[in-house]
Amino acid sequence: MSNGREKTPLLLKDDNIRALFSMLDLAGYGYVTKKQYENVLKLVGVREHVRTSPSVKSDSDILSLSTFVEAVKQTLEASVARK
């Protein structure tokens, strides 16, 4: 029986998020900036107040691929849960 709070599937899968990372990391450094991460969240429609992911350290200005993927997924899940 459903309680009305079923988990909504995310439209962006890991492969899609990795592709976004690759588009940002054109030089192949293996990281993107926090600003680039925030811009991706804007691009996919995440509002300002849900942009903080536990994966992103507040004192870090760069994100590796694995951190980026995890952070985007966590933030998207939090955004969907708030709607």
Which pLDDT score, from 0 to 100, does residue 25 have?
97
Give pLDDT tens digits for 57-75: 666 789 999 999 999 988 8
Question: Beta-carbon neighbour count of residue 82 at 10 Å?
Answer: 10
Q: What is the pTM of this model?
A: 0.77
In the chain, domain spans: 12-53
Which pLDDT score, from 0 to 100, does residue 68 have?
93
Residues in a beta bridge with 31: 64
- Collect all residues with Cβ–Cβ distance below 8 Å to 29 and sequence separation of at least 6: none
Give pLDDT tens digits for 20-66: 999 999 999 999 998 899 899 888 888 765 556 666 766 678 999 99
